[in-house]
Structure 1
Amino acid sequence: MDSEQSIINNNNKTTDYKVWFITGASSGIGLQLALNLISQGYSVAGTSRHLSNIENKINSERFLPLEVDLVNEESVSNALKKTVEKFGRVDVIVNNAGQSILGALEEFSDSEIRDLFDSNLFGPLNVIRHSLKYLRVQKSGLIYNISSIAGFMENAMTGGYSATKFALSGVSESLKEELKPFGIQVCSVNPGMVKTAILNKIMYPNEVIADYQSREMLNAFYKYRESINLPGTDADKLAKLLIDVSLETDIPAYLFCGVDANNTSKDKITKLTDTINKNEKRAGIDILESK
């Protein structure tokens, strides 16, 4: 019997509620989700890079604050072990932690791109691999990967960020098929603009290449959104939506959140369909191997 099975079997706690494990739970979507879950009677383990950022955010016996380095496999493994030791199981994994750096792709250094992938892809992959050791034993569970509309529809100056989110959404699609035999569901959550503190500070690569005018373009875009008071998604309502969807038996592979995300995704599908139709003969039948 492996150690994960032993922890579940030897824990005397019995629960009739779901236990959630949320990364990046000290602010934004992660914090709102944790607060809503606790208020509804769920148990939550919430992670942050620094314990001081999270330990005083929620005062409840059903909340376990954890300091976790998501790129460190041992740190992730220990956090999940502590979660199961305290609550008896883990049911819903939310890969929410990440960072956003925007700018022209040429402006990114190799280390900046790698750090972005560590935060937005390789960290979540660590959480997925180590959580599956418990979810497979239970033959049930749900994994929410918080991607972005930028993980489905590209824009200028989002190339580095989009690359990480496209990858995370792609992982979600593949994983959903792999985990069906184990009763584990997977959903790529692709929000548009969400009203969180992250909008208050745009992060850029260190290098500035004047030809692109990337910072001017991005600042102008955000100022325009603010000037016309373009509505964004409310983090609290998004949190409630994720809880509601988690109770369903057939959870969608993709969940586009926000009017902007839904409209943008439909535009992308229309344009992509047109492109396929226009090139289908020359890029399909015409290049078949001759017999």
Structure 2
Amino acid sequence: MDDANTRPYHLPQDAVWFITGCSSGIGLALAQLVAKTSNRVVATARNPAALAGIPDGPNVFKHALDVTSIPSIDVALQAALSKFGRIDVVVNNAGHTLVGDTEAAGDEESRALMDINFWGMVDVTKRALGIMRDDNSKTGQQGGVILNVSSVGGWVGYPAGAFYHATKFAMEGWTEAVAKELPLNWNIHLCNIEPGGVSTNFASTSLKPMAKRHPAYADPSYPSNVVLGYMADPQIQKTWAKPSDMAAAMYHIASRGQRIPIRVPLGPDSYSMIIADLEKNQKLFEELKDLSMGIGQAAVAAFM
């Protein structure tokens, strides 16, 4: 059951990319990059007018897509198939965040975040699997790649973003399980992309503060306020990666002709924070190893 994504993937020279959330940031940069290659790109956004930054051409198709609407997803995917006949790479990039005091978060805004960040990805991916398995084989190579744009926040949780982290943790677990579920001969590969800080509007227009804040958390020294201050600091944002660098790395992952890993940290901050978290947790686990290993040893041995 651990043999997911072990075979190399070879991107067709005329591959079709289907990218959500292309109005800005990583989605925009990736669509612009793909448009410069021999590949073809379906660039989507809620409002197609927001896609003006992507050059027009015979290999570029722009379409409206609301990932929280299943009819909208079905229409966009079918339009892509009608235009290009196949979809080789799906990039689930659409999303936003919600910051503030978890205790004060409203149900509506919290569930809305899950709808776009998690369920939107799920609903696009479920339909893409059938296309990659059944439709792509009619025009050449079966299979494809699904890149789900998670975050370092899909591995490590920080104050002020509990619901955002919940969506990304859910994305990562779901993606890993599905990657291990698919038969290898379908040639479908899933990957969690884990960027660190990226200089996009994600830290401004896409960063939505909760409707209310709890007065008990007003102290500026409290963890949530420290993190919010960090995220809003323009000097800190200058150290973040460029969207074009993230786009180039993602294109490389899909096109390099090697296996597609289930997780890829992108950016020195993401890599360093994830490695540090691994080391910290390993130390904590080892401190309680005797307790962990001493429970139900006979039952564990029988199961293994």
Is the structural similarity TM-score above 0.5?
yes
Corresponding position: 1:132 with 2:129: yes
- Structure 1 pair 260–230 and aligned structure 2 pair: CA distance change class (3 A): farther
Letter matched to residue 207 of structure 1: K
- Which residue of structure 2 lines up, in the alignment, with residue 176 of structure 1? 179
- Which residue of structure 1 lines up, in the alignment, with residue 88 of structure 2? 91
Corresponding position: 1:206 with 2:211: yes
SS in 2 for 1:70: coil
Deviation at 1:147, TM superposition (A): 0.2
SS in 2 for 1:154: coil
Counterpart contact for 2:199–2:238, Cα < 8 Å? no
Deviation at 1:117, TM superposition (A): 0.3
What per-residue deviation string (whole Å, max 9, x for no partner) do you get for residues 2-45 of structure 1?
A: xxxxxxxxxxxxx8411000000111100100000011121111
Q: Which runs of 5+ in 1 are unaligned?
A: 1-14
| Equivalent of 2:194 in 187, 190, 195 | 190
- Which residue of structure 1 lines up, in the alignment, with residue 7 of structure 2? none
Corresponding position: 1:120 with 2:140: no
Percent identical residues: 27
Corresponding position: 1:22 with 2:19: yes
CA–CA distance in 1 between the matches of 2:89 and 2:232? 37
Corresponding position: 1:284 with 2:289: no
Q: Which runs of 5+ in 2 are unaligned?
A: 1-11
SS in 2 for 1:21: strand
| Equivalent of 1:162 in 165, 184, 193 | 165
CA–CA distance in 2 between the matches of 1:222 and 1:26? 22
Letter matched to residue 48 of structure 2: L
| Equivalent of 2:150 in 125, 147, 168 | 147
Which one scores higher on RCO, CA 8 angstroms, separation ≥ 6?
Answer: 2
- Structure 1 pair 177–286 and aligned structure 2 pair: CA distance change class (3 A): closer
What per-residue deviation string (whole Å, max 9, x for no partner) do you get for residues 142-170 of structure 1?
A: 00000010110011111110000010011
CA–CA distance in 1 between the matches of 2:228 and 2:67? 30
Deviation at 1:227, TM superposition (A): 3.6
CA–CA distance in 2 between the matches of 1:210 and 1:263? 34
Deviation at 1:219, TM superposition (A): 4.0
Counterpart contact for 1:48–1:66, Cα < 8 Å? yes
Letter matched to residue 210 of structure 2: P
Letter matched to residue 165 of structure 1: K
What RMSD, in angstroms, separates the aligned Cα atoms of the two structures? 2.0
CA–CA distance in 2 between the matches of 1:70 and 1:244? 26
- Structure 1 pair 88–228 and aligned structure 2 pair: CA distance change class (3 A): closer
CA–CA distance in 1 between the matches of 2:178 and 2:77? 20
Deviation at 1:64, TM superposition (A): 1.1
- Structure 1 pair 203–218 and aligned structure 2 pair: CA distance change class (3 A): farther
SS in 2 for 1:75: helix
